[in-house]
Each structure stands twice: as C-alpha cells, then as structure tokens.
Amino acid sequence: MNCPFKKPRWTRRKEARPQELLAAALDLFVERGYAATRLDDVAAQAGVSKGTLYLYFTNKEELFKAVVRENVVPVLGEAEEIVDSFQGPTADLFHHIAHGWWERMGTTKLSGITKLMVAESNNFPEVARFYHDEVISRGNAMIARMLERGIERGEFRNIDIKQAMNVVCAPMIMLLLWKHSFGALGHGEAAMSPEKYLNSFIDLLLHGVLKPAAMPSS
C-alpha cells in the first residue's frame, strides 16, 4: 500500500546516483519499450534534469546497455558460477538453474527485457547485437555446458548439443513472453503457474535426454 506521506518525486536531490537513473530507466523500458522511452522521461522519473543524466550516459543506447549490465549480466554470472561448481546430478542442476532463473528474472521487472528485445530487435540492430553478445550467447553457452556435463557423466544420451540448447531455451523464453502478454489477463487459460510449467518442462526435457535404465537380467 502506498504511504500517503511519501514525498513527491521531484523533491529528490538533483545529484541522483547512476543507480537511481538505471532504476528509472528499467521501469520505463519495461513499461514503454525501447523506442518509446525518452531520456527526458527517465530523468524526470529519477528526479533530475536531462543534463544530469548526460553526465553519466551519452545516449539512450548507452543507458540501455548500462541497465542490462547492472541488472541482467550479474544474474547470468551467478548462474554460471553455480553450473561450474555444482556437485550433484545434472538433472538436479537443471532444476536448480531453471527455478533460480525464474526467481531472479521471471518474477522481477527484468522479465520485461526479453519481450522488449523480441519486439524491437529488428528496428535497433546495434542494441540487439549488444544483447546477443552479452546475454544470449553466454546463456546459450551455459546451457550447452550443462548438457555436455550430463553426457560426460554418462547421465544423458549423446545428443546434438547445439540443437538441444535451442530446444531448452525456447520454452523458457516463451514463459517470459506469456507473462507480459496473455498472462497479464490473469484468468482462465491465461493463468499459468510458472512453477508447474517449469517442472513439466524439465520433466519432459530430462526424459528425452536421460539414458534408459539398464534392462533387468532374465
């Protein structure tokens, strides 16, 4: 519930920190998309002048890159560390990464970045290239390492890693897009449980890659 005594936004100090500008930018990028977000509005939401914003960010593209590097890249880095240090079965690793990803990304405003990129990449190729290089490529490589891990440990069948990686990514992206489209309706078939969805996805995935159990001797 909003506090009735909260000070108006414009009473903030003029020298807002970059983090405040990034938080305001994230809100507007997710709410309006990349094209419709104006630097004037970002500055106003942060409670500073547009000139102050330019002290930190030279243009909207650099601001967007900073939003991604400040918010999305660290989450990806944490997941990579988990993959590289995990000691248990690879099936458990997939569960851990998928649910952790949804907790850190899907339940937050960061989930809207995926919809933004899908909707506007064609119109802003430089932004799309940046996001691909710093987020998508690293995420794909991490999933490939998980699949390779399962194969090397004798837990998974010998499969086409590249294509399997694409198959793993697609349902997770779909869940984010659903949240910011039909999921916003919040009822009927549109009311999807992310936890149940992820559990079903992982179950179907693992039963497609796990080696069949040895046949009992007669």
Q: What is the per-residue pLDDT across 69-87, written as a single tens digit (0 to 9) for each?
A: 999 999 999 999 999 999 9
Say if residues 127 and 63 touch (Cβ distance below 8 Å): no
Query: Of 212, 202, 209, nearest to 159 (Cα)?
Result: 209
Other residues' Cβ atoms within 10 Å of the Cβ of residue 15: 9
| Residues 117 and 188 occupy one common structural domain | yes
- Locate 6 and state its tokens: 């909260």
| Residues 113 and 127 occupy one common structural domain | yes
The residue behind tokens 């506090």 is 3
User: Who has greater pLDDT, 211 or 175?
Assistant: 175
Q: Is 213 left (phi over 0), alpha (psi -120 to 50) or beta?
A: beta
Give the confidence band of 190 by pLDDT, cuts at 50, 70, 90. low
Q: What is the pLDDT of residue 188?
A: 55
Give the confidence band of 59 by pLDDT, cuts at 50, 70, 90. very high
| Residues 52 and 77 occupy one common structural domain | no
Q: What is the pLDDT of residue 218?
A: 46
Total of domains in the chain: 2
Assigned domain for 93 exists: yes
Rounded mean pLDDT of the chain?
87
State the average pLDDT over residues 116-123.
94
Domain extent, residue 172, equals 61-209
For residue 210, report the phi and psi dihedrals to the nearest 5 degrees: -65, 145
Q: The domain spanning residue 193 has which CATH number?
A: 1.10.357.10
| Residues 70 and 48 occupy one common structural domain | no
| Residues 155 and 82 occupy one common structural domain | yes
Q: Which residues pair with 156 in a beta bridge?
A: 210
| Residues 125 and 52 occupy one common structural domain | no
- Locate 216 and state its tokens: 């009992």
Assigned domain for 1 exists: no
Give the confidence band of 1 by pLDDT, cuts at 50, 70, 90. very low
State the average pLDDT over residues 193-198.
90
CA diameter of the chain: 80
Say if residues 49 and 43 touch (Cβ distance below 8 Å): yes
Query: Of 169, 195, 194, 167, nearest to 179 (Cα)?
Result: 194
Assigned domain for 215 exists: no
